[in-house]
């Protein structure tokens, strides 16, 4: 299967480098271009790792809600009447229509505009018109799908989309202590308000943005203004569990202007940049994949309520220029990854320590998940709804479809999922029907006369 080749199964494992004076090969281009890899990342990373999303100041009042989309998973955060922040997928439990339409606002209740089911601020089903005349419909089992929410010691809000009661990956495993790190001590996060949000859409894989952000080897060449923000000579990063801490020793000039920047990158896709001397501004940056070659750089810019306008604008303008320069770098590199010539290059173990740490982590979690899928002989979608035990017909339907590879988001990627040795009984006939249908769509005059399974080679021969 193609995806296993990307991961190195069936071939020699890539060499691991431990000598800090030797260059290290980067992840291959296919990891930045393949739809199959993107779907695997949706299962292995975005469905089960903790992701930083925003700050709690944005959900100040009862009923305040915000909608987000990460890797195709749309969800809502909302403050309920008890003051807790809840999170749920934006999917009606009736027929999957999105319950929340706007990006943000204040609500008393969430009413679905398809058939009128409504949900409380805690996601519980309040009303399902006409369903009180049915027997055996349990309202308590039809609330919105909850996601895990954590508000850390600094007030930042994290989510984990793992559908299990307790998420498989504890927050502490990746981020223990990150919310009380030294650089946050001078900050009183209650002094901040969201000034504005903006995004830069581009034709790049989200990981190329992470690679770019986590090194400053490119800074002297590509960012003429960076010396105002950080001392390039002393810039260094340290990878700890699930985060990468950027640091440099601020110059006297930077201290005077309050411009010394200190960033922390949180695997998989978020960073927070604060200023060490004169905390005028906080930048929360998220890299949001829309597909393998298409992402958004999304920014939430918080301003210190007590900072002079001029100080806030100086740093904001400078940073906006830097990220627009990064956008061009990433787009042009991605274009060449897409072209099919370049596989990978050798990275500098000190100057590109950040992206190497990021890539090593991505490789680890992706491989682990892929190994589990291989052992289970099926794809594992941690965020997916678990059916109740009595939904036996639905389970059979799902099973049949799994054999056919008709996972909702895989119809167009059949090469990954046809595992001919493990297909369920009954799936063969269905598979043939799929082939027939596709042939008909592409070549209306063709029909399948004969087909057979060919060994060795594990492929279907169709005439
Ligand atoms: S899909 Fe929401 S009420 Fe029917
Ligand atoms: Fe940059």
The enclosing domain of 309 has a CATH number of 3.90.380.10
- Which residue's CA is the closest to the ligand 1 atom numbered 3? 115
Of the residues 307, 337, 368, the one at which a domain ends: 368
Residues 38 and 70 occupy one common structural domain: no
CB 278 within 8 A of CB 262: no
Residues 83 and 105 occupy one common structural domain: yes
Residues 208 and 312 occupy one common structural domain: yes
Q: Which of 90, 92, 101, 129 to mutate to test the pocket of ligand 1 (most atoms within 8 A of CB)?
A: 92
CB of 113 closer than 6 A to ligand 1?
Answer: no
* DSSP designation for 57: G
Domain of residue 104 covers 51-160
Of the residues 145, 160, 175, the one at which a domain ends: 160
- Which residue's CA is the closest to the ligand 1 atom numbered 1? 95
- Residue for token digits 């021969």? 461
With respect to residue 109, please indicate whether it lies within any of the assigned structural domains: yes
| Atom number in ligand 1 closest to CA 92 | 2
With respect to residue 177, please indicate whether it lies within any of the assigned structural domains: no
φ/ψ region of 135 (left if φ > 0, alpha if ψ in -120 to 50, else beta) reads: beta
| Atom number in ligand 1 closest to CA 115 | 3
Distance 247 CA to ligand 1 centre (A): 49
With respect to residue 165, please indicate whether it lies within any of the assigned structural domains: no
C-alpha distances (whole Å) from 180 to each of 69, 153, 271, 443 are 27, 7, 15, 62
Max intra-chain CA distance, the chain: 79
Would you state the pLDDT for residue 403? 77
Residues 304 and 192 occupy one common structural domain: yes
With respect to residue 170, please indicate whether it lies within any of the assigned structural domains: no
With respect to residue 22, please indicate whether it lies within any of the assigned structural domains: yes
CB of 112 closer than 6 A to ligand 1?
Answer: yes
Residues 204 and 243 occupy one common structural domain: yes
The enclosing domain of 77 has a CATH number of 2.102.10.10
Residues 71 and 216 occupy one common structural domain: no
Distance 123 CA to ligand 1 centre (A): 14
CB 49 within 8 A of CB 365: yes
Would you state the pLDDT for residue 412? 39
Name the domain count of the chain: 3
CB of 217 closer than 6 A to ligand 1?
Answer: no
Give DSSP secondary structure letters for 255-271: HHHT--EEEEEETTTEE
Inter-axis angle of helices 309-339 and 206-213, nearest 10: 120
CB of 330 closer than 6 A to ligand 1?
Answer: no
Residues 253 and 357 occupy one common structural domain: yes
Distance 120 CA to ligand 1 centre (A): 15
Of the residues 160, 195, 223, the one at which a domain ends: 160
Residues 22 and 136 occupy one common structural domain: no
Would you state the pLDDT for residue 446? 55
Two structure tokens written together for 239: 């990878």
The whole-angstrom separation of Cα 350 and Cα 320 is: 27
- The pTM assigned to this predicted structure is 0.84
Residues 34 and 60 occupy one common structural domain: no
With respect to residue 180, please indicate whether it lies within any of the assigned structural domains: no
Would you state the pLDDT for residue 435? 60
Would you state the pLDDT for residue 414? 35
Residues 232 and 352 occupy one common structural domain: yes
Would you state the pLDDT for residue 399? 86
With respect to residue 174, please indicate whether it lies within any of the assigned structural domains: no
Helical (H) or strand (E) element with 311: helix 309-339
CB of 115 closer than 6 A to ligand 1?
Answer: yes
Between CA 92 and CA 69, with CA 412 as vertex, the angle to 5 degrees is 40
Whose CA is closest to 357, among 26, 12, 32, 6?
Answer: 26
Q: Which ligand is nearest to the CA of 297?
A: 2
Distance 47 CA to ligand 1 centre (A): 24
Distance 95 CA to ligand 1 centre (A): 5
CB of 125 closer than 6 A to ligand 1?
Answer: no
Residues 150 and 260 occupy one common structural domain: no
* DSSP designation for 43: I
CB of 53 closer than 6 A to ligand 1?
Answer: no
Q: Which of 95, 98, 144 to mutate to test the pocket of ligand 1 (most atoms within 8 A of CB)?
A: 95
CB 346 within 8 A of CB 28: no
With respect to residue 172, please indicate whether it lies within any of the assigned structural domains: no
Residues 57 and 140 occupy one common structural domain: yes
- Regions of the chain short of the pLDDT cut 70: 1-18, 258, 407-463
Distance 217 CA to ligand 1 centre (A): 51
Distance 322 CA to ligand 2 centre (A): 6
């Amino acid at each position: 299967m193609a995806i296993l080749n990307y991961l190195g199964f069936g071939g020699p494992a890539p060499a691991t480098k431990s000598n800090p004076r030797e260059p290290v090969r980067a992840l291959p281009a296919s990891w930045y271009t393949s739809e199959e890899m993107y779907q695997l990342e949706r299962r292995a990373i975005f469905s089960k790792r903790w992701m930083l999303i925003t700050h709690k100041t944005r959900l100040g009042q009862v009923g305040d809600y915000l909608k987000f989309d990460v890797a195709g998973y749309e969800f809502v955060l909302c403050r309920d009447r008890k003051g807790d922040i809840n999170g749920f997928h934006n999917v009606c439990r009736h027929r999957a229509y999105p319950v929340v339409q706007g990006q943000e606002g204040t609500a008393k209740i969430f009413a679905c505009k398809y058939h009128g089911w409504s949900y409380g601020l805690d996601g519980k089903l309040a009303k399902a018109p006409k369903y009180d005349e049915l027997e055996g419909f349990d309202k308590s089992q039809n609330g919105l799908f909850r996601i895990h929410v954590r508000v850390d010691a600094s007030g930042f809000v994290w989510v984990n989309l793992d559908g299990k009661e307790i998420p498989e990956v504890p927050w502490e495993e990746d981020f223990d202590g990150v919310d009380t790190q030294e650089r946050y001590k001078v900050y009183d996060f209650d002094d901040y308000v969201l000034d504005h949000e903006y995004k830069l859409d581009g034709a790049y894989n989200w990981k190329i943005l992470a690679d770019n952000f986590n090194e400053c080897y490119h800074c002297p060449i590509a960012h003429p203004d960076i010396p105002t923000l950080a001392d390039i000579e002393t810039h260094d990063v340290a990878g700890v569990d699930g985060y990468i801490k950027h640091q440099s020793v601020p110059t006297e000039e930077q201290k005077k202007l309050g411009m010394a920047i200190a960033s922390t990158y949180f695997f998989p896709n978020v960073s927070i940049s604060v200023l060490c001397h004169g905390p005028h501004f906080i930048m929360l940056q998220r890299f949001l994949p829309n597909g393998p070659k298409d992402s958004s750089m999304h920014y939430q810019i918080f301003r210190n309520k007590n900072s002079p306008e001029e100080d806030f604008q100086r740093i904001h303008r400078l940073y906006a220029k830097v990220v627009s320069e990064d956008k061009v770098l990433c787009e042009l590199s991605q274009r060449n990854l897409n072209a099919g010539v370049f596989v990978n290059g050798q990275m500098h173990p000190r100057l590109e320590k950040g992206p190497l740490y990021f890539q090593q982590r991505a490789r680890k979690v992706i491989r682990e998940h892929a190994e589990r899928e291989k052992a289970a002989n099926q794809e594992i979608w941690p965020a997916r709804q678990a059916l109740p035990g009595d939904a036996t017909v639905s389970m059979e339907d799902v099973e049949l479809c799994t054999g056919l590879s008709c996972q909702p988001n895989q119809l167009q990627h059949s090469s990954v999922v046809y595992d001919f040795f493990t297909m369920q009984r009954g799936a063969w006939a269905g598979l043939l029907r799929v082939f027939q249908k596709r042939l008909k769509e592409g070549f209306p005059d063709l029909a399948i006369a004969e087909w057979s399974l060919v060994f060795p080679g594990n492929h279907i021969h169709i005439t």
